[in-house]
Amino acid sequence: MFELDFSVIPANSSLLWEGIKMTFLLASLAIIGGIILGTFLALLRIAKIPVLSQFSAAYVNFFRSLPLILVIFWLFFLVPLIVGKPVGAFSSVLVAFILFEAAYYSEIIRAGINSVRLGQLAAARALGLTYFQSMRYIILPQAFRAMTPILLTQAIILFQDTSLVYVVGLRDFLVSAEIVANRDQRLVEMFLFVALVYFVICFAASIGVKYLQKRIDNEL
Amino acid sequence: MNYKKNHKMIRMRSVNKWYGKIQVLNECSLDVSKGEVIVVCGPSGSGKSTLIKTINGLVPVNSGEIIVSGINVTDKSTDLDQMRSKIGMVFQNFELFPHMSVTENIKLGQMKVLGRTDENAEQKTKILLERVGLTDHAHKYPSQLSGGQQQRVAIARGLAMEPMAMLFDEPTSALDPEMINEVLDVMVKLAKDGMTMMVVTHEMGFARKVADRVVFMDYGKIIEDAPSQDFFGSPRSDRAQEFLSKILNH
């Protein structure tokens, strides 16, 4: 039996803090990029031009059929080949997350667009707004409003998924903790701590989402 | 008032529309002159709403020709967005934009389509809200308004574009009875000010009061197109007589 010694955490706080910052930076850029690309894919999907909607559908099906860890791994090797020079783990991982998550976000946003009454588009077009203006000012704002809780839930999943960067050795929170754990031989303490931090952040966020959902339900 | 009625505002010729195998418009032809008020009535499913939506191209037709103030709506090369901004449309379910205040609803088209400045759009909005009697509600959201108030905002939103004609698609059928009159009053005022109007409605009181002509539709066909006195005096077709006796006998 051994004794738990949590003093290893404050002793390595700056390294761990750098790791947490990396996790948040990666997650937030991936969420923003994923939602932008996802919106674009959703708009292609509902377009009345078959080749565009088929492309979008194929994209979504392709990425939803692959394990995320494989996409991260592949892009780590592929991106430098495509660009022709080393790009660093962070860039390749960020591209992987954006490409992968966009497939999921696009399905959520498409459902959001479909939840807006058809008459809204008719009313917008009747005013003389173009199709894209109607999307931009009328349909998408309502779609995002209705879908905010689900988009945030997906964001929480993405936040957890960022720990998969482990496979390419990017120093996120998990990798930083592992470095400390191995070096100081405090595996149990460090992985308990990591679990606790992920749990607190994600649990708090999901309570926030529930509260938000209630508010939106009351408004609609 | 007749001096302005020789100019054709809307001209439909042999318009046909199918949804799949169902023909919803069958050889519809119709003329509306400037300043005229036309009421379109008929049983539900007779194609009235579809007919009115073909005029600003919201519903594309399969064949036939529609010309609005010299612009060919059915011609593929026509800039429909441009054309639509010149025709106001009011819907059965109001279709105000729920995420925007009353003022923002009325300003949006003015700024994004007509390119008016914020200041000019605001000014125009104030005048219109006064005209429909909703000055005090300028900063409310649609969900905070009654159905009648929402529909009056929708009319103001259409008028903000300074349209050459206004289309109304059953503007009062989603309203509680006590709110119907406040909307009809605004429409009567509009008609008396000389606006060209095409109104799909079952409000025969309104039709009697302001309509120049009544168009009766059934099974996608225009069965009767007559001056309103003639229509209410003695409709020529049996179907129209039957329809009138049904909706006027209570």
Q: pLDDT tens digits for B60-92?
A: 999 999 999 888 999 888 889 989 999 999 999
- Predicted local confidence at residue B242, as pLDDT: 86
- Predicted local confidence at residue B2, as pLDDT: 43
Nearest residue, CB atoms, A138 vs list B87, B97, B143: B97
Token duo for residue B32: 């509306």
Contact B120, B110 (CB under 8 A): yes
Mean pLDDT of B162-181: 93
Mean pLDDT of B179-193: 93
The single-letter code of the amino acid at B224 is E
Contacts of A140 in chain B (CB under 8 A): none
| Burial of residue B164 (number of CB atoms within 10 Å: 0-12, 13-18, 19+) | middle
Q: pLDDT tens digits for A161-202?
A: 999 999 888 999 999 999 999 998 888 889 999 999 999 999
- Predicted local confidence at residue A193, as pLDDT: 93
What are the backbone angles phi and psi of residue B166, rounded to the nearest 5°?
Answer: -125, 135
With an 8 Å Cβ cutoff, is B144 touching chain A? Answer: no
Q: Which residue of A has its CA nearest to B160?
A: A127
Contact B125, B103 (CB under 8 A): yes
Distance from CA of B140 to the nearest CA of A (A): 14
The band of B250, judged by pLDDT with boundaries at 50, 70 and 90, is low
Contacts of B84 in chain A (CB under 8 A): 125-128
Distance from CA of B19 to the nearest CA of A (A): 17
Which A residues, 52 through 81, put their C-beta within 8 Å of a C-beta on chain B? none
Q: pLDDT tens digits for B201-216?
A: 988 889 998 999 999 9
The chain-wide mean pLDDT, for chain A, equals 92
Contact A205, A149 (CB under 8 A): no
- Predicted local confidence at residue A80, as pLDDT: 87
The single-letter code of the amino acid at B229 is Q
How many C-beta neighbours within 10 Å does residue A179 have?
A: 16
Token duo for residue B145: 């308004």
Q: pLDDT tens digits for B23-55?
A: 999 999 999 999 999 999 998 889 999 999 999
ipTM above 0.95, yes or no: no
Contact B14, B189 (CB under 8 A): no
The band of A217, judged by pLDDT with boundaries at 50, 70 and 90, is confident
- Predicted local confidence at residue A220, as pLDDT: 59
Q: Which residue of B has its CA nearest to A119?
A: B95
Contact A196, A16 (CB under 8 A): no
A153-170 per-residue burial string, b: 16 or more CB within 10 A, e: under 16: bbbbebbebbebbeebeb
Nearest residue, CB atoms, A126 vs list B89, B97, B108: B89
